[in-house]
Chain A
Amino acid sequence: MEIFTHLADGFGNIFDLTSLFIIAAGVIMGILVGVLPGLSPAMGVALLVPFSYGMSPLNALILLAAVYSAANYGGTITAIAINTPGTPSAIVSTFDGYALTKQGQPGRALGASVMASTVGGILGTVVLVFFSVPLAKAALSFGPPEYFALAVFGLTIISSLSTGNYIKAFIATLIGLLLNTVGMDPFTGYLRFTFGIPELADGFSFIPALIGLFALSEIFLSIERSDTVKEVLKKVSGKMPRFSEMWKIKRAVLQSSVLGTLIGVVPGAGATIAAFIAYNEAKRSSKNPDQFGKGALEGVAASGAATSGSVGGALVPLLTLGIPGSAATAVLIGALIMHGLTPGPELFKDKAIIVYSLFASLFVAYFVMFFLGMAGNQLWIKIIAAPKAVLNPIILAIAFIGSYSVGNSMFDVWSCLGFGVLGWLLRRYDFPTAPVILGLILGFLAETNFRRALLMGDWNIFFTRPVSLIMLILAALSLFWPIISAYWKKRKEVME
């Protein structure tokens, strides 16, 4: 096998002190970038591009790839610890991770997240090494109708996200979808619902909305609901999940890793959608679906594994076609070009050693991430144990930086506060906020591809293309899954 010799060469190429140091530094920077809300993996990579100027192309590449892979994991830390997703894809980690933290078991959630992220990342890299060429070909068959079907499929997850009232979850989704239409219409350039505010021309920035709806609303609500003022802290346990516990959920981890990788391959779908879909599937195939949202280790693991898996996936179209699979890989392309490497099929041919050294460095990076993540967990647990009275103002200040650094704009900071108050009001009356985010993420994908598909053909286009048709059928099934499974349960009970 040619691949194995190449890979062995790659490992040989990076096993020196400089490369290992660069990988470790990249992983640390990546975790830091992930932890800080507002600094997405893409921004983290972009901010480090200037640092890589002076390095050899290979070292620059492994530094940036290490940052990218670790940043996706780093985001889950704050999601679990303080309900503030450090990166958009970490939203899903808040569902069960923060629930576990509230139960005094942040160690279990953080530990499960590191382990699942490591497995997801390594599996994603394996897929990247062995299947990138056929996968990239398959990803290209995704045209507008398929993207639209994917968005619809993603939206059906609300039926699985809502634990209580379905109507409220639908209303929340529609709020997100409607907010998403604010800004310039990409097809006509017309400014929709901007009311003359220039900052709204690009719509609401995603990260301030995310921080507001999750972190800020949680602060306001927790002050109102619990006795935070004189709260005697619940004993926070630093206990990590036992191996047997992880072994029990191996199915969710493996399934989510593969799903995350596959969805990551499709350009434009990205880690966030991957995490949502993997969570949905993990819940559906779980033995205890009713535990999801209340602190299921499987839920934390599914999110972490899918997010990390999507890194390897996103690198597939980048390396084989020169098409970025995510925002962060778009930045990577720019950095590669600056170092005189043009990503695409020719890179595999002419500079195979660089490509395979990159693969090898990713494997190493995930191992480094595992150990650093496990060691770091004790630190995060200490932070969680800090009094809420201290933590809450600091989270607000971090939310400020996070929102501001997205576009260096005070408008984003104000909109973050606005979303915080909106989230608080919604959650006071048991409207879930996660569907709002889902609407914000998928609204654009749904609308642009719906209209693009109609520009390319007529309504039949959605139903005459096999991939699009299959996904739409799956979406319908997924939407009505709770009803179907309830019916089956009933029938089973009757039979017995």
Chain B
Amino acid sequence: MGKINAAMHLKTILILLLLFISTIAAAYPEKPITFIVHSKPGSGIDITTRQFTRIAAKYSEATFVVENKTGGSGIIAMREVLDRPADGYTILAMTKSFLSTILLSKSGIDLDDFYLLSCLVIDPEVLITNRHAEVRTLQDIIRDAKAKQGKQKWLGPLVGGVDHLMAVKVWDKLGIRGEWIPFEGGSDALAALLGQHGVVYVGNPVDVKGRPDLMIAAVSAEQRLPEFPDAPTFKELGYDLSDDVLWRGYALKNGVPEEALRYLEDLFVKVGSDSEWISFIQKTAAHPVVLMHDEFSGMVEKDKLESLKYLKMAGILSDNNSTAIIDQQSAALILSALLLIVLLLLYIFKREWLRGEVVIALALTAAALFLYTQTFNFPQGKLSKTAGPAAMPRMWIYGLLVFNLWLILQTIRQNRAESEQQESNGNKLVKAAGLVLLTTIYLFVVGYFGYYLSTFLFLVAGMYWMAYRRHILIFAISGGFVLFSYYAFQKVLMVPLPAGSIWF
């Protein structure tokens, strides 16, 4: 790897020495340090981070917590970090995929909002083929791609993700075209490659580990990988691709105090050089590195420009932002007005038709029509020749419209024959609706008083509302439940429960 060199090691040692002196008097950390991970427990970055915290405990007195804030390909996690104070107690686990997320989402979050602390893992990008297929080597791929004229199937995860952009880059550099077939995750795409439903998979060396049916066709690195000496690099085959890596690193919100920053930098250097850490990363067929702020930022900046270029080349980002054809408010307004008119007319003229089924069917029809207007804003064509993003939702909407109409007609027909159905008891309806309201209040209150106090109050209030009157039992059960949830979730399973802004 070109990124690790002797100078860096020297610098690392110097930083270590300097940091050691400067941290002696530091008071940080006095609270648990939380790592925010954007994917589910058990994912690559989650396991890496949990392993990091385990090894970090050797070098630090602080407690470490890993919190998974999933969703939006990292948007939720980034927002979570930005919403918390820049005190150095919240660390964002980052991967290269965040670049696409930032570039594609209109969330207002930017890379500049973060201080890139350290990158500890880099994983070279490789092309993987099926050993038993006809197309195995890079030369095979190029020949096959030219023969299929852009119909060659490339498998991998999400469109616009790291692997897709790598594929676009490879097509660009090799002068070929392929068809990107996206799967839910890397392993689904790998299964498809094993089943020969496609030709090339874009991934990392870990993907062929333990899978003798797969082979690496080309590696984007300066030199061959020590673990896979038979896999050629793009460079030796004559193509200009040599430093594409999937990196995993850690970032902070901008503005963290110097003292905390020094402490963390010191800790990351120590863990990054720990032998147990290094052997763990090597087990995942990735490269352990210690890139601190300057080098990390340089790499990320370069990758960001490149991502932008290939997102545009893939047609995912375009320069002209098309505005919405139908804006949401007016569509919703028109449809709700129509619904109200229909209900009003029914109420005045055909009151016997106005039964629960009909109201639900009408409301669903209005909702379906509203969503239908939204589908006109969906991108059409180009990326998805046959069935675009609007195809399936529209099919379900048509179905919903047909069956709603059918239901309304059926209800009206039955209504003539049948007499009025039994009325539900008003008192009990109030009882049920009251519990809904109580739950709603509970959810609001959690934001202020946190989980424990709110839950206790909710349980007490709920049992009273349900007309349970054994006061001591009510308090005992409510308290018992809160204690149980504390021990089971916070202590044993280490699932954090929400804290409030006023109370914990």
User: Which residues of chain A have a CB within 8 Å of any CB of chain B?
Assistant: 32, 36, 39, 42-43, 45-47, 49-50, 53, 139-144, 167-168, 170-171, 174-175, 177-178, 181, 184-190, 192-193, 195, 198-199, 201-202, 219-221, 223-225, 228-230, 267-268, 317, 321-324, 330-331, 333-335, 337-338, 340, 342-347, 387-390, 392-394, 396-397, 400-401, 404-405, 407-410, 413-414, 417, 420-421, 424-426, 428-429, 431, 443-444, 446-448, 450-452, 454-456, 458
Cβ–Cβ contact B466 & A174, under 8 A: no
Cβ–Cβ contact B51 & A414, under 8 A: no
Select which of B190, B467, B493 is within 8 A of A230 by beta carbon: B467
Cβ–Cβ contact A343 & B210, under 8 A: yes
Cβ–Cβ contact A198 & B75, under 8 A: yes
CB of B460 to closest CB in A, whole Å? 8
Bound together, the chains give a CA A201 to CA B179 distance in angstroms of 25
Cβ contacts A to B, 20 pairs, < 8 Å: A36-B488, A46-B41, A50-B54, A140-B191, A168-B407, A174-B396, A174-B403, A188-B159, A188-B316, A223-B428, A230-B467, A331-B41, A387-B468, A400-B443, A400-B451, A417-B443, A448-B183, A450-B392, A452-B181, A452-B182
Cβ–Cβ contact B459 & A323, under 8 A: no
Cβ–Cβ contact A390 & B69, under 8 A: no
Chain B residues near A223 (CB, 8 Å)? 428, 431-432, 435, 466
Cβ–Cβ contact B389 & A187, under 8 A: yes
Ranked nearest first, the 4 interchain pairs of A and B with the lowest CB-CB distance are A393-B462, A331-B42, A342-B210, A46-B41
Considering the complex, give the chain A residue whose CB is closest to the CB of B157: A186
User: Which residues of chain B have a CB within 8 Å of any CB of chain A?
Assistant: 40-44, 46-47, 50-51, 54, 67-73, 75-76, 79, 104-105, 107, 153, 158-160, 179, 181-185, 187-188, 190-192, 194-195, 197-198, 206, 209-213, 280, 283-284, 316, 328, 355-357, 360-361, 364, 368, 371, 374, 378-379, 383-389, 391-393, 396-397, 399-400, 403-404, 406-407, 410, 424-425, 428-429, 431-432, 435-436, 439-440, 442-443, 446-447, 451, 455, 458-459, 461-463, 466-468, 473-474, 477, 481, 485, 488-489, 493-498
What 20 new A-B contacts, CB under 8 Å, besides A46-B42, A187-B389? A49-B47, A171-B364, A181-B393, A186-B184, A195-B328, A198-B75, A220-B432, A223-B466, A330-B185, A333-B187, A337-B209, A342-B209, A390-B477, A394-B477, A396-B458, A417-B440, A443-B392, A452-B182, A452-B183, A458-B386
CB of A46 to closest CB in B, whole Å? 3
The residue in A53, A188, A344, A392 that gathers the most chain B C-beta atoms within 10 A of its C-beta is A188
Cβ–Cβ contact A198 & B76, under 8 A: yes
CB of A469 to closest CB in B, whole Å? 17
Chain A residues near B194 (CB, 8 Å)? 140, 321, 323
Tell whether A47 pairs with B68 under 8 Å between CB atoms, given A189-B158, A323-B191, A414-B443: no
Bound together, the chains give a CA A201 to CA B67 distance in angstroms of 19
Chain B residues near A142 (CB, 8 Å)? 195
Tell whether A456 pairs with B197 under 8 Å between CB atoms, given A50-B54, A267-B188: yes
CB of A468 to closest CB in B, whole Å? 12
Cβ–Cβ contact A219 & B435, under 8 A: yes
Select which of A225, A338, A455 is within 8 A of B283 by beta carbon: A338
Bound together, the chains give a CA A255 to CA B497 distance in angstroms of 42
Bound together, the chains give a CA A205 to CA B374 distance in angstroms of 22
CB of A373 to closest CB in B, whole Å? 20
Bound together, the chains give a CA A199 to CA B70 distance in angstroms of 9
Bound together, the chains give a CA A208 to CA B493 distance in angstroms of 19
Considering the complex, give the chain B residue whose CB is closest to the CB of A445: B184
Chain A residues near B368 (CB, 8 Å)? 178
Select which of A50, A185, A424 is within 8 A of B432 by beta carbon: A424
CB of A461 to closest CB in B, whole Å? 11
Cβ–Cβ contact A185 & B47, under 8 A: no
CB of B501 to closest CB in A, whole Å? 12
Considering the complex, give the chain A residue whose CB is closest to the CB of B429: A224
Chain B residues near A192 (CB, 8 Å)? 374, 378, 389, 393
Select which of B184, B371, B496 is within 8 A of A178 by beta carbon: B371
Select which of B71, B195, B211, B424 is within 8 A of A344 by beta carbon: B211
Cβ–Cβ contact B494 & A47, under 8 A: yes
Bound together, the chains give a CA A197 to CA B159 distance in angstroms of 21
Tell whether A39 pairs with B493 under 8 Å between CB atoms, given A189-B104, A193-B374: yes
Bound together, the chains give a CA A404 to CA B51 distance in angstroms of 24
Cβ–Cβ contact A190 & B379, under 8 A: yes
Cβ–Cβ contact A389 & B466, under 8 A: yes
Bound together, the chains give a CA A171 to CA B408 distance in angstroms of 12
Considering the complex, give the chain B residue whose CB is closest to the CB of A399: B439
Chain B residues near A454 (CB, 8 Å)? 386-387
Cβ–Cβ contact B192 & A167, under 8 A: no
* A interface: dominant SS: helix
Select which of B153, B213, B356, B489 is within 8 A of A429 by beta carbon: B356
Cβ–Cβ contact B212 & A188, under 8 A: no
Chain B residues near A190 (CB, 8 Å)? 378-379, 389
Bound together, the chains give a CA A62 to CA B327 distance in angstroms of 55
Chain A residues near B79 (CB, 8 Å)? 198
Chain A residues near B424 (CB, 8 Å)? 224-225, 428
Chain B residues near A344 (CB, 8 Å)? 209-212
Cβ–Cβ contact A417 & B356, under 8 A: no
Chain A residues near B328 (CB, 8 Å)? 195
Tell whether A199 pairs with B374 under 8 Å between CB atoms, given A322-B211, A334-B43, A404-B498: no
Cβ–Cβ contact A178 & B396, under 8 A: yes
Cβ–Cβ contact B494 & A268, under 8 A: no
Chain A residues near B71 (CB, 8 Å)? 198-199, 201-202, 407, 409
Chain B residues near A388 (CB, 8 Å)? 466
The residue in B389, B428, B458 that gathers the most chain A C-beta atoms within 10 A of its C-beta is B389
Bound together, the chains give a CA A143 to CA B192 distance in angstroms of 7
Cβ–Cβ contact A178 & B378, under 8 A: no
Bound together, the chains give a CA A387 to CA B467 distance in angstroms of 11
Cβ–Cβ contact B360 & A426, under 8 A: yes
Chain A residues near B355 (CB, 8 Å)? 429
Chain A residues near B488 (CB, 8 Å)? 32, 36
Select which of A174, A193, A267, A324 is within 8 A of B399 by beta carbon: A174
Bound together, the chains give a CA A431 to CA B84 distance in angstroms of 43
Considering the complex, give the chain B residue whose CB is closest to the CB of A33: B493
CB of A388 to closest CB in B, whole Å? 7
Chain A residues near B468 (CB, 8 Å)? 387, 389-390
Considering the complex, give the chain B residue whose CB is closest to the CB of A222: B432
Cβ–Cβ contact A202 & B72, under 8 A: yes
Cβ–Cβ contact B210 & A167, under 8 A: no
Considering the complex, give the chain B residue whose CB is closest to the CB of A395: B462
Bound together, the chains give a CA A373 to CA B137 distance in angstroms of 54
Chain A residues near B182 (CB, 8 Å)? 186-187, 452
Tell whether A404 pairs with B467 under 8 Å between CB atoms, given A47-B41, A223-B435, A331-B41: no
Select which of A170, A343, A405, A456 is within 8 A of B489 by beta carbon: A405
Select which of A171, A187, A424 is within 8 A of B384 by beta carbon: A187
Bound together, the chains give a CA A116 to CA B95 distance in angstroms of 44
Tell whether A229 pairs with B466 under 8 Å between CB atoms, given A49-B42, A224-B432, A393-B459: yes
Bound together, the chains give a CA A310 to CA B346 distance in angstroms of 51
Cβ–Cβ contact B181 & A456, under 8 A: yes
Bound together, the chains give a CA A322 to CA B153 distance in angstroms of 22
Cβ–Cβ contact A338 & B280, under 8 A: yes
CB of A323 to closest CB in B, whole Å? 5
The residue in B40, B104, B316, B474 that gathers the most chain A C-beta atoms within 10 A of its C-beta is B40
Chain A residues near B153 (CB, 8 Å)? 456
Cβ–Cβ contact A49 & B41, under 8 A: yes
Cβ–Cβ contact A188 & B47, under 8 A: no
Tell whether A393 pairs with B458 under 8 Å between CB atoms, given A50-B54, A198-B79, A451-B387: yes
Bound together, the chains give a CA A397 to CA B392 distance in angstroms of 36
Considering the complex, give the chain A residue whose CB is closest to the CB of B179: A455
Bound together, the chains give a CA A47 to CA B468 distance in angstroms of 37
